[in-house]
């Protein structure tokens, strides 16, 4: 297809992705009377924010004393000091206001007796800079993500945001001076490409949990935005840090919220021992996620796993009583009963650490602007391009995200990006002309899958399964140089094999085979970024646990990785240790 | 295990047809979605929507042996073979199991599904007692899968005039919310013989809802409010 034949639409802002980050930004923009288009490969409320369970952190102090500064400390400690302290201060300071704003937007938060928002304890939370457990996570039962995503979608309906539902983004369009000018997208229903021209483009496409075989993620979480950034010569930051959630349903992966432990649930090994007391004497089951996941893995490795194969541990909840479980954890009970036939009111749930969250992503500053080393420094903004949420790396999560901080991240930076975009639009009033080359490149992606094969080659499904299995085996919870080296080679080989993969469905209307093929391309780029970055980092820091380098090494590795697609090149940049207004929190040994 | 699956695409088919597939290794705990994914691995031309795989996103409502449900939380063990899978009824088919949901979404948008407050907005949260909040349980959990509306005969007959159970459940969700301040407007919007009153309490909606919600009851509550308002 020729560029000139493709339909074009023009908007002030194009938002790609309709999870909480995208919808928070689009709401901001639509309310400010900007023309905003939201492109999403699924209907907005199918986005993965809908599956977030436990809650959103804000130091409202509704249950016990709290303040944003303690939240900031916990987040920095949780990040193992790899988080940028200016962005973390910004996020924690904004939290209370933005949670209240969500409540005003209609989120049906659970309530305390005085009518204020219900808050529960979550992992890694403390009062007074490492003291007693805090209760900072605002919850709508255990369906907080659902409640937030639906409310944001509803307010976007009210604000008359323009939605392109079930459109798949092929690639960004870049101008001659590296300014991003929109994207080429594909209508899944008709199979027709569409050019969306925009003065600003916001990537809010979520994480890439599907690079791992067993994961808590939706099938749509294929890192599309991250791969688009890579193809636009933008590096990805800190991709070696991938969070394994301690409590996925063993063997299946469905998420069992940290809120279960927040409400008083705890983990048991085969001896019936509450083993977290040994690993984290203070925080116990509410230590941060990397700590709990590693502890479970060690218990199982040392033979104290449960079940006939000793391959999982148990999450005990029944002592909380039927009332608390039905009131505070109804969704978890549903999921446990559906997928394990176990009613947590009666028996414990079998769990195992499961791939969950992409801490790394497209490097941004605290305004949501995509920043990369260019001509004039390490953090130069790419004009017209923004990223928020799981696909972005501000970085507020560093080497480990705290539970309850991801829903916060998306609303805080969705709004921040919205604000900055409004400012940008004020001084950039006209669309620029599109270079044909950039559009052609996007269309080439589509044309590649028109190729017809002999019919007996490897399929998309098979190669995807191989990739996921490889990442699980060679880039899992415990890593060594040797294993990671093999992982890099295997993923590179998979990248080669992709060349020979063809699809047999060349139809236009709702061709999901073609979408899955392009998602696989994206997954491979994400996997390669992850395993190459992991191989290079010779230290252990939270989610990145190197058996051959067991200690954190601040002298050499207190820095962010930057991975480039071309030649799998790595670069590094310093962590921003200086907060906006308070004293810096210098790295300390991290104990829970 | 034998499956019979509805196939149609305007691009290549004059008429819809049922296609048979046989799957050999069926695990004891397998859900219908896993079977559909296995079939797609054999025949990639089969199209259907799916995402979270745990009954939360609402993508994969289909008609299974004559009854609407979510493929991802329907155990194969609960079904009699051959398992017949069709698109949910009452909406135009785009391809195979994929229907055009737009008429359904239009109804949702028509009930102003957003909290609306006319008073000045305070700097703290709106206060709501736990008892007031309890009234939203069984309402806000809707995942917009469409299983209810597309199993409702009143929806089939009057899709352009009757709002359907899913939209009406959301209408009640906001009427029941102690924070919302446009109850009168909401009720006025639903006046007339069709929008609300075409519900004949057949109760298919409550029967099939994969989240165990009860739109019929919500509709009854709205009717009661209407009645109260008129006297």
The DSSP line for B33-98 is: HHHHHHHHHH-TT------SSSSSS---EEEETTEEEEGGG-BGGGSPSSEEEEPPTTS-EEETTE
Task: Please say if the pLDDT value at position A562 is more than 80.
Answer: yes
Distances in Å between the alpha carbon of A570 and those of A99, A420, A543, A564?
Answer: 37, 29, 19, 6
List of chain B residues whose C-beta atoms are within 8 Å of the C-beta of residue A50: 52, 56-57, 143
C-alpha A286/C-alpha A291 separation (Å) is: 9
Q: What is the CA radius of gyration of chain B?
A: 20
Q: Which of A580, A581, A585, A559 is nearest to A571 (CA)?
A: A559
Average pLDDT, chain A: 96
CATH 3.90.700.10 fits A250-353, yes or no: yes
Task: Please say if the pLDDT value at position A512 is more than 90.
Answer: yes
**Domain A445-559, architecture per CATH:** Up-down Bundle (1.20)
pLDDT reported for residue A176: 83
Name residue, tokens 């995807």. A464
- The tens digit of pLDDT for each residue in B24-47 reads 988 889 999 999 999 999 999 999
Beta carbons of A496 and A202 less than 8 angstroms apart: no
List of chain A residues whose C-beta atoms are within 8 Å of the C-beta of residue B117: 104
Mean pLDDT, residues A189-211: 98
A63's tokens: 């249950």
At residue A57 the predicted structure's pLDDT band, cuts being 50, 70 and 90, is very high
- The tens digit of pLDDT for each residue in A62-120 reads 999 999 999 999 999 999 999 999 999 999 999 999 999 999 999 999 999 999 999 99
Q: Which of A355, A545, A361 is nearest to A469 (CA)?
A: A355
Task: Please say if the pLDDT value at position A235 is more than 90.
Answer: yes
Compare CB distances from B9 to A42, A503, A507 and report the shortest one's residue.
Answer: A507
Q: How far is CA A329 from the centre of its chain?
A: 23
Q: Which residue of B has its CA nearest to A147?
A: B140
Count contacts between A and B (CB, < 8 Å): 147
At residue A1 the predicted structure's pLDDT band, cuts being 50, 70 and 90, is low
At residue A457 the predicted structure's pLDDT band, cuts being 50, 70 and 90, is confident
Answer whether A452 touches B (CB < 8 Å): no
At residue B85 the predicted structure's pLDDT band, cuts being 50, 70 and 90, is very high
Q: What is the ipTM of this complex?
A: 0.98
Beta carbons of B168 and B174 less than 8 angstroms apart: no
Name residue, tokens 């991801």. A406
Which DSSP helix (H) or strand (E) runs through A372?
Answer: strand A369-374
Beta carbons of A491 and A192 less than 8 angstroms apart: no
Compare CB distances from B95 to A117, A461, A509 and report the shortest one's residue.
Answer: A509
| Peptide bond preceding A395 in cis form (omega within 30 of 0) | yes
Task: Please say if the pLDDT value at position A150 is more than 90.
Answer: yes
Which DSSP helix (H) or strand (E) runs through B139?
Answer: none
- The tens digit of pLDDT for each residue in B147-159 reads 999 999 999 999 9
Q: Which of A324, A315, A294 is nearest to A249 (CA)?
A: A315
Whether A106 and B98 lie within 8 Å, measured CB to CB: no
List of chain A residues whose C-beta atoms are within 8 Å of the C-beta of residue B53: 218-219, 254
Task: Please say if the pLDDT value at position A128 is more than 80.
Answer: yes
A419's tokens: 């604000």
Q: Which of A266, A362, A280 is nearest to A314 (CA)?
A: A266
Mean pLDDT, residues A211-232: 97
Q: What is the distance in angstroms between the Cα of A543 and the nearest Cα belonging to chain B?
A: 24
List of chain A residues whose C-beta atoms are within 8 Å of the C-beta of residue B110: none
Whether A151 and B115 lie within 8 Å, measured CB to CB: yes
Task: Please say if the pLDDT value at position A376 is more than 90.
Answer: no
C-alpha A208/C-alpha A218 separation (Å) is: 10
Extract the runs of DSSP E, i.e. beta strands, from chain B: 2-7, 17-22, 61-64, 67-70, 83-86, 93-95, 98-99
Whether B140 and A503 lie within 8 Å, measured CB to CB: no
C-alpha A494/C-alpha A469 separation (Å) is: 12
Task: Please say if the pLDDT value at position A453 is more than 90.
Answer: no
Q: How far is CA A534 from the centre of its chain?
A: 18
* Catalytic residue status for A289: yes
Distances in Å between the alpha carbon of A271 and those of A268, A299, A384?
Answer: 8, 11, 57
Boundaries of every domain in chain A: 250-353, 445-559
Per annotation, catalytic residue among A136, A261, A289, A328? A289
Task: Please say if the pLDDT value at position A384 is more than 90.
Answer: yes
């Amino acid at each position: 297809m020729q560029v000139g034949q493709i339909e074009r639409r023009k908007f002030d802002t194009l938002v790609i992705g309709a999870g909480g980050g995208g919808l928070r930004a689009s709401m901001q923009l639509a309310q400010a009377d900007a023309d905003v288009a939201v492109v999403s490969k699924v209907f907005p409320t199918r986005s993965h924010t809908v599956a977030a369970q436990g809650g959103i952190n804000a130091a409202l102090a509704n249950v016990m004393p709290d303040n944003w500064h303690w939240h900031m400390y916990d987040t920095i400690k949780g990040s193992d000091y790899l988080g940028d302290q200016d962005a973390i201060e910004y996020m924690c300071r904004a939290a209370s206001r933005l949670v209240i704003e969500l409540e005003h937007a209609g989120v049906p938060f659970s309530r305390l007796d005085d009518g204020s928002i219900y808050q529960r304890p979550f992992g890694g939370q403390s009062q007074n800079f490492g003291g007693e457990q805090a209760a900072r996570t605002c919850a709508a039962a255990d369906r907080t993500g659902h409640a937030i995503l639906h409310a944001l979608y509803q307010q976007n309906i009210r604000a008359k945001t323009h939605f392109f539902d079930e459109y798949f983004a092929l690639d960004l369009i870049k101008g001659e001076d590296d300014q991003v000018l929109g994207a080429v997208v594909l209508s899944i229903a008709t199979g027709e490409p569409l050019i969306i021209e925009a003065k600003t483009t916001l990537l809010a496409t979520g994480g890439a949990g599907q690079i791992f075989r067993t994961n808590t993620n939706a099938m749509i979480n294929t890192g599309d935005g991250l791969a688009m950034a890579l193809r636009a010569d933008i590096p990805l930051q800190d991709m070696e840090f991938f969070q394994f959630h301690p409590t996925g349903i063993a063997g299946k992966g469905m998420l069992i919220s940290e809120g279960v432990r927040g409400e008083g649930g705890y983990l048991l090994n085969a001896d019936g021992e509450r083993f977290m007391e040994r690993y984290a004497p203070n925080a116990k089951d509410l230590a941060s996620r990397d700590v709990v996941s590693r502890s479970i893995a060690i218990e199982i490795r040392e033979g104290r796993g449960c079940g006939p194969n000793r391959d999982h541990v148990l999450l005990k909840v029944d002592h909380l009583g039927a009332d608390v479980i039905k009131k505070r954890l109804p969704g978890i009970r549903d999921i446990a009963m559906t997928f394990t036939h176990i009613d947590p009111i009666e028996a414990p749930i079998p769990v195992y650490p499961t791939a969950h969250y992409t801490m790394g992503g497209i490097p941004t500053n605290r305004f949501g602007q995509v920043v990369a080393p260019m001509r004039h420094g390490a953090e130069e903004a790419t004009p017209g391009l923004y990223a928020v949420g799981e696909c972005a790396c501000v970085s507020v999560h560093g080497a480990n995200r705290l539970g309850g901080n991801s829903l916060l991240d998306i609303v805080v930076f969705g709004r921040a990006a919205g604000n900055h975009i409004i400012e940008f639009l004020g001084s950039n009033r006209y669309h620029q002309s599109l270079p044909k080359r950039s559009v052609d490149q996007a269309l080439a992606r589509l044309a590649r899958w028109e190729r017809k094969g002999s019919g007996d080659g490897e399929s998309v499904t098979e190669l995807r399964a191989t990739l996921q299995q490889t990442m699980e085996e060679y880039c899992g919870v415990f890593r060594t140089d040797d294993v990671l080296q093999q992982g890099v080679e295997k993923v590179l080989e998979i990248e080669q094999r992709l060349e020979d993969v063809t699809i047999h469905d060349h139809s236009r209307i709702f061709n999901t085979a073609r979408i899955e093929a392009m998602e696989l391309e994206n997954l491979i780029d994400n996997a390669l970024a992850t395993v190459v970055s992991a191989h290079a980092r010779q230290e252990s820091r939270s989610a990145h646990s190197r058996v051959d380098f067991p200690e954190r090494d601040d002298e050499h590795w207190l820095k962010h990785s930057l991975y480039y697609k071309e030649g799998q090149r790595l670069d590094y940049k310093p962590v921003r240790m200086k907060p906006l207004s308070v004293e810096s929190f210098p790295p300390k040994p991290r104990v829970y | 295990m034998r499956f019979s699956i509805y196939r149609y695409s305007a691009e290549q088919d004059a008429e819809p047809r049922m296609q048979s597939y046989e799957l050999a290794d069926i695990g004891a705990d397998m859900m219908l979605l896993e079977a559909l994914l296995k079939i797609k691995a054999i025949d990639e031309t089969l199209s259907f929507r799916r995402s979270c795989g745990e009954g939360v996103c609402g993508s994969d409502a289909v008609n299974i042996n004559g009854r609407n449900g979510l493929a991802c939380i329907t155990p194969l063990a609960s079904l009699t073979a051959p398992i017949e899978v069709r698109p949910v009824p009452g909406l135009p088919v785009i391809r195979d199991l994929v229907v055009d949901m737009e008429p359904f979404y239009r109804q949702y948008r028509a009930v102003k599904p957003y909290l609306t407050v006319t008073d000045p907005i305070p700097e703290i949260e709106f206060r709501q007692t736990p008892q007031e909040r309890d009234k939203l349980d069984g309402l806000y959990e809707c995942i917009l899968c469409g299983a209810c509306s597309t199993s409702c005969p009143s929806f089939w007959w009057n899709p352009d005039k009757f709002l359907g159970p899913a939209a009406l459940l959301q209408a009640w969700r906001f009427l029941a919310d102690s924070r919302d301040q446009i109850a009168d407007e909401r009720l006025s919007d639903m006046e007339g013989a069709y929008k609300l009153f075409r519900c004949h309490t057949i109760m298919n909606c409550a029967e099939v809802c994969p989240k165990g919600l009860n739109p019929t009851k919500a509709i009854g509550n709205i009717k009661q409010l209407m009645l109260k308002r008129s006297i």
